[in-house]
Amino acid sequence: MGTSQSKPSTPGGSPLVAPWADQDPPAPDQPQPALAVPDVLPAAPLSGMRRALREYMGTGDPAAGRRALGRYARAMGGPRASARHARAARTGGAALSALASVARANGAAVVVAGFDLGTLAGRPLEEAITAIVDQFCPPGILDEDVVRSAMAEALFEALGDQPVFDLNAVTDHVVVVATVCFVAELVFAAVASEQGKSAENVPPAVAVQRENALRDLVRAAADEIATPIIQRTGGALAPAGLDGIVAEITSAVYGEMTRW
């Protein structure tokens, strides 16, 4: 008791060492000194993305939009971010596979997973698309809203010039367009879900316009990225394995965006 010696001084007086570290430990009945807490905590992973997105929403500058998308992709791990959409890829892949089966049948009615797509022939396009989404992307699935809205948007993009659902209008090209659009919608929806208050000071009409322009940036990237992947298949997407194609394109889109 009372025989302990002072510890030698820390060489160089390192700022990482608290001042009390060079002193004798306090007696058991004395309180321990509090550890120093850094004044600045690490920034949130998406704070840079939100700053860029706020700038984009305020100015409409496409360069700021690309920066926001790039920062989001890097924060999410680049190509690895596609893992977040794995379930969506499987669910959406099932709907796209049904569409591909119709294309392969050259206008003939086909039954996929017990669902006769021939029953949709001649029905208003919106009604037919709703039926397809309900069948293959039913309510109650994980990420329900994102997957269902992405698939509906993709089908409208691919078939929107048809007033009614026409089996003969479902071609390989339609399947490709729907697939690429579905991927772009998944990625855009993921970004939009993290936008925070980036548009709070922007008039609603302007905000919608700029969100659509941001969506177009993602779609353009998806179009460019998907081309070599689809060319590898001969330009026609087979019903089997479409979920894998969706996952591959999604991963490549995130990889491309990390360069922005």
What contacts 12, CB < 8 A, 6 or more positions away? none
Q: Quick one: pLDDT band at residue 240, thresholds 50, 70, 90? A: confident
Closest CA to 177 of 219, 215, 207: 219
Closest CA to 147 of 192, 184, 186, 180: 186
**According to the model, what pLDDT value does residue 159 have?**
95
Strand partners, 116: 111
Give the model confidence (pLDDT) of 30-83 as tens digits. 554 444 433 333 446 788 899 999 999 999 999 999 999 999 999 999 999 888
Q: What angle do CA 202, 206, 210 make, to 5 degrees?
A: 100
With a cut of 60, say whether residue 7 has pLDDT above it.
no
Average pLDDT for the chain: 83
Q: pLDDT exceeding 90 applies to what percent of the chain? A: 60
Give the model confidence (pLDDT) of 184-220 as tens digits. 999 999 998 888 888 888 999 999 999 999 999 999 9
Neighbours of 259 (CB within 10 A): 10
C-alpha span between 90 and 96 (Å, rounded): 10
Strand partners, 112: 115
Q: Give the tokens for residue 18.
A: 């608290």
Query: With contact defined as beta carbons under 8 Å apart, do 248 and 227 qualify?
Result: no
Entry pTM: 0.79
With a cut of 50, say whether residue 14 has pLDDT above it.
no
User: Domains of the chain: which residue ranges?
Assistant: 47-257
With a cut of 80, say whether residue 21 has pLDDT above it.
no
Residue 241, CA distances (Å) to 110, 122, 238, 260 in order: 18, 29, 7, 30
Q: Give the tokens for residue 71.
A: 């920062």
Strand partners, 164: 124
